[in-house]
Chains A and B, each alone.
Chain A
Amino acid sequence: MLFDLNQLSEAPRTAYDVCVVGAGAAGIVLALKLAGRGKKVALCEAGGMEFTAESQECYNGEVIGDPYFDLDITRLRYFGGSTNHWGGWSRPFEPIDFDRGYLGDQYVWPISLDELTKYLKEASSIIDTDDAYDDVLVNDTHGVIRFEIKTPEPVRFGKKYQAELENSADVDVFLNANLTDIAGTGSRVTSATFASYQDRAFEISANTFVFAMGGIENSRQLLWLREKHGTQFMDNDLPIGRYWMEHPHFTLGEALVSNPISTGQFFALTGARQRELNTLNCGLRVEEQSGGATKRLVKDLMCVAPTVGRWAMELAGRNLICGARFRAAWEQAPTFDNRVGLSATKKDRFGVPQSELHWTISEVDRNTARTASDVFNQWLLDDDLGRIRLDEWVYGEGEFPTHDEIAGHHHMGGTRMSASKRYGVVDANCKVFGSDNLYVAGSSVFVTGGHNNPTLPLLQLTLRLADHLS
């Protein structure tokens, strides 16, 4: 059933097995999975069926640190959430992403990758793709792989699952339901209060509550509830909002590459090579440039290094080499200081402090791209597959470019899962430390981000959570 709080005077059913807050990828899938196991579910979405300014402006906030997207641009606040503008690219975590303990406890997942892999097939089917990835070791000496990213037509979760939700006897969807508070007994949440845009308040009771509001909003709401309720529903000193991560996306330079490095392919270091070099995961790509880039780059190379320049010119004359952009998207190191915080001065229309995102790209992050680039270069030089011209900031110490892609709109961390309250906010089952029945779903529970797009792994985690709550 579908209800619009803007049109209601009272909620039709007052008690549920599970109340899921947030109807994005995680929330929708969780609600349907639980309903399929006979649970009565309330799925509460802060926006309506379509974009509205009054909902979206609740995402206003401030970015402090390095240049980043405006917080009301980088995500969407209506039914389907940010799947309404995502690109559909998908790839699961890799074994090395779950084997970073040698870097420190803040890198340790409390579960094994196998715990997610068993949900890969089902998660892949949700986003209309398959679960077979054609990864190839292209150079054993340097430890370089060519890897596959699935690029299906992006699934708009709101559109795909609207009818199924509307027709479900076990899910009640509440639109325009803005979380304003929770209440309970001891550390058990028994009800949540939601406000409509007409400022009417509705209370929903449930045995279990799941926050699935997104990679920034989960932190904001938990921080706010901690301000209001202290440690009633969560342990003291949890690092809420901390260890927030993105995937830096930058052009590292330009390249002249010959046919074996076909443009559009993705490359990375093997897990063993990453471990050997103490570096994180980084995806590299060469993208063919049009508009005379090949000629320009050959001319430039000829001036700098005539011998290899003549080689490049000869190949270009036979159309065997092309000019390309050399791009990277990589894993950001989880650091305590990258965090979601609460504004001290600005609140949304429901009285919840706006988000402050403190985000900085560190020298560690620069070195992740630099190291991967170095190894990739070694392979190209070894096999004479091309030459790369790096931008000065990559090999020097200059500022990161401000006019580039910058990041992937991939909001991760903030409510990470951990075996330790020092490094995480939720336990291995995604339950908030210190709470009896408050859970978190979505990429905010990621311990590390890998270098791949987060939607597929967050769906795997959601399916796992559904099993736990069933």
Chain B
Amino acid sequence: MNRRQFGLGVLLGTFALKIPFVGALIKTRIKSGWVLKDGDV
């Protein structure tokens, strides 16, 4: 499961909830803790 996908699904016991992908507009990645977007590196 993607870390962005569970939100309160954990509490509700509904991991299958179709929770919108928070990063839908910009693809991000974490490098050494920095949250970066394409072109940053």
Contact = CB atoms under 8 A, between A and B. Distances in A.
Interface string A294-314: 000000110011111000000
Interface string A392-410: 1001000000000000000
B40 to A, nearest CB: 4
Contact of A392 (B8, B9, B33): B33
B31 to A, nearest CB: 5
Given A277-B20, A277-B22, A307-B41, A389 B33 contact: yes
17 contacts: A103-B8, A142-B25, A278-B17, A278-B19, A300-B32, A304-B41, A305-B31, A305-B36, A306-B41, A333-B8, A362-B10, A363-B10, A367-B6, A374-B23, A378-B22, A378-B23, A381-B37
A389 B32 contact: yes
B22 A253 contact: no
A301 B31 CA distance: 10
A387 B11 CA distance: 30
B34 A389 contact: yes
B12 A374 contact: no
Nearest to A311: B40
A371 B28 contact: no
Interface centre among B12, B19, B40 (most CB of A within 10 A): B40
Interface residues of B, number: 28
B31 A304 contact: yes
Interface residues of A, number: 38
A439 B28 CA distance: 51
A141 B8 contact: no
B36 A387 contact: yes
A367 B10 contact: yes
B35 interface: yes
Contacts of B11: 103-104, 333, 335, 362, 364
A278 B26 contact: no
Given A103-B11, A387-B35, A395-B30, A370 B20 contact: no
Given A276-B20, A367-B10, A377-B35, 14 more contacts: A141-B25, A278-B7, A278-B12, A279-B7, A301-B34, A308-B36, A363-B10, A371-B4, A374-B4, A374-B23, A374-B28, A375-B22, A387-B40, A395-B3
